[in-house]
A and B are shown apart, each in its own frame.
Chain A
Amino acid sequence: MSTTRAETGAKASRAEYCVIACAETWRGNGEVLASPMGVIPSIGARLAKHTFSPDLLLTDGEAMLVGLDGAPEGWLPYRQHLTMVTGGRRHVMMGASQIDRFGNQNISCIGDWAKPKRQLLGVRGAPVNTLNNPTSYWIPKHSPRVFVERVDMVCGVGYDRAAAAGPSATRFHRIPRVVTDLAVLDFATPDHSMRLASLHPGVTVERVREATGFELTVPDEVPYTREPTQDELELIREVIDPTGTRDREVTEPKSTRDREVPDSGRGGR
């Protein structure tokens, strides 16, 4: 990895690893709508379309399908968007105010639903998304407040809840990834509980465990999130996000525990 850096001449920032990890969620998806929510997922989706997933569809955030240059190529008003969801030709990356170890997600409210301590967005399209098209999550600040034992309101359906609800719920249900500012997580375990899939360079397993409010499955060997290529770094920095909006969503770690650890210390354990 350090050789790659030497070759590129510029070390990738944490935000850039997050962009790479988000882009990777759309790899191999083919001709489907990429629906990124959040700054870094949006950069990631565009990066994927620029490079290894050129067939992805993108929207302008309203009713038009647009190419990478912003030129419209089609019409997608809400009523057709909902058919894109239920027809399954879409991979959405949503946010989560809370998420649990089986991938149940909450964006509705915190506390008792009947009289919430904090009203948030509402369920929005999380129930329809999770039962119909692949749904990944982006969490810009990995913390025990987000990664909780139990979410207060199940908006996005997790693996345990889908299984309990039966074949209609599990038929098209899939949560490919959860990407955070620290790591990539997935549900590739026998019981579909959350697993640490990769660490962003500079992050330790211990740091992820501390930031996760439930027991996380950690494989013996945890890889690092891959390095961006020179081309990818140029695309991110010069074409897709020249003003650096990514650094406002994920800031470069400053505290000692988040700082780059020497290679000898990077066992991933």
Chain B
Amino acid sequence: MSDKTMSAEEAVARLESGMTLGIGGWGARRKPMALVRALLRTEITDLTVVSYGGPDVGLLAAAGRIRKLVTAFATLDSIPLEPHYRAARESGALELMEVDEAMFMWGLRAAANRLPFLPVRAGIGSDVMRVNPGLRTVTSPYVDESSGTREEFVAMPALRLDAALVHMNRADRLGNGQYLGPDPYFDDLFCEAADAAYVSCEQLVENMGTAELTKEAAPQTLLLKRSSVTGVVETPNGAHFTSCVPDYGRDEAFQRLYATTPYAEFAERFLSGDEHAYRSAVEAWQREWNQ
């Protein structure tokens, strides 16, 4: 079996401009930020980004890499509105497919199951239909006995991805991935909906199924199967500044800095070098901030 480990640079080198890219996590929770930072160091642009949006969307939008965004929101959780996403929307800088949170999940499920769509009640009657004129409805072939009618649903199209980026607490060289926090979010669906999936992890372990940690954590924490994973990247602190419990919580102070600093200034200080340089710059800032 093949060793899928690679560097963050090698992972993003496999991406191309114009791709549809899914990004796992949720809001400012367990986002593959080190992979996003690596992506920002490339020239890749014109992306269609599919994400339960957080600072991943904010950074890529601020850097002008997103042509089209598919999302239900973009938030920093403790800061309700993602400032760079907001600026991009208010200047009309990106195309948006705005769908409901559940529609989004069913779009990923359809893609993971190789279906063209799945029927969902959500969306009917709302302006999601107005702002997405391409959305179609589907009528049930079965008569609902309570109303005597055939119900009409949104036919949520599959959100098929060229590539997915997700971040796990642990992974092995083969691509088995484990989350240890309270919520898997939808990272397995992102990987299954994608032609190629790159998984960063806090810590690489040998033989996931027999590793010490897996004996302590229940088997259902083994979220990602190697059959839907293309590459594995070990990136300690790779979700920073989003949360990655139990390894670490959100870096609220740094997130506030991110949210209140103009992007050019933030990028100059934190994103001009590699991941090691990022860590050093963050640590330097933390020393200053703690004084």
Contacts and interface: CB of A to CB of B under 8 A. Distances in A.
Given A119-B89, A122-B73, A127 B100 contact: yes
> Which 3 A-B residue pairings sit nearest by Cβ, starting from the closest?
A128-B122, A165-B125, A122-B73
B125 A162 contact: yes
7 contacts: A113-B131, A128-B102, A130-B126, A131-B125, A155-B127, A168-B121, A168-B153
A235 interface: no
Interface in B116-157: 120-128, 130-131, 144, 146-147, 149, 151-153
Given A78-B185, A131-B122, A117 B128 contact: no
Contacts of B126: 123, 126-127, 130, 154-157, 161
A157 B99 CA distance: 14
A125 B151 contact: no
Interface stretch (B78-86, B259-267, B280-288): B78-86
Contacts of B10: none
Contacts of A127: 100, 102-103, 122-126, 128
Contacts of B121: 86, 128, 131-132, 168-169, 172
A167 B183 contact: no
A226 interface: no
A62 B81 contact: no
Contacts of B186: 78-79
A8 to B, nearest CB: 36
A127 to B, nearest CB: 4
Classify the interface of chain B: helix, strand, loop or mixed.
loop
B26 A78 contact: yes
* Interface residue range, chain B: 35 or more
Contacts of A169: 121, 124-125
B128 A123 contact: yes
A156 B100 CA distance: 10
Given A82-B102, A123-B72, A123-B98, A113 B125 contact: no
Contact of A157 (B89, B92, B125, B146): B125
B101 interface: yes
Contact of B73 (A115, A121, A128): A121
Nearest to B186: A79
A167 B151 contact: yes
A246 B108 CA distance: 39
A164 interface: yes
Contacts of B146: 171
Contacts of B123: 127-128
B181 to A, nearest CB: 8
A77 B101 contact: no
B269 to A, nearest CB: 26
A212 interface: no
B151 A132 contact: no
